[in-house]
Chains A and B, each alone.
Chain A
Amino acid sequence: QGQVVESGGGVVQPGRSLRLSCAASGFTFSSYAMHWVRQAPGKGLEWLAIISYDGGDKHYADSVKGRFTISRDNSKNTVSLQMNNLRPDDTALYYCVRGAFEHTTSIDAFSVWGQGTVVAVSS
Chain B
Amino acid sequence: DIVMTQSPHSLAVSLGERATINCKASQSVFYNSRNKDFLAWYQQKPGQPPKLLIYWASTRESGVPDRFAGSGSGTDFTLTISSLQAEDVATYYCQQYLNTPLTFGGGTKLEIK
Q: Are B97 and A108 in contact (CB under 8 A)?
A: yes
**Contact-residue size bin, chain B (C-beta under 8 Å from the other chain):** 20 to 34
State A109–B58 Cα separation when bound (angstroms): 13
When A107-B97, A109-B40, A110-B95 are in contact, do A47 and B52 touch as well, CB less than 8 Å? no
State A92–B52 Cα separation when bound (angstroms): 21
**Contact-residue size bin, chain A (C-beta under 8 Å from the other chain):** 20 to 34
Tell me the dominant secondary structure on chain A's binding face: strand
Q: Are A109 and B97 in contact (CB under 8 A)?
A: yes
Q: Are A59 and B101 in contact (CB under 8 A)?
A: yes
Residues of chain B contacted by A100 (CB below 8 angstroms): 40, 52, 55
Residues of chain B contacted by A61 (CB below 8 angstroms): 101
* Residues of chain A at the chain B interface (Cβ within 8 Å): 35, 44-47, 50, 59-62, 95, 100, 106-111, 113-116
In the A-B complex, the 3 residue pairs with the smallest Cβ-Cβ separation, listed nearest first, are A113-B49, A109-B40, A59-B100
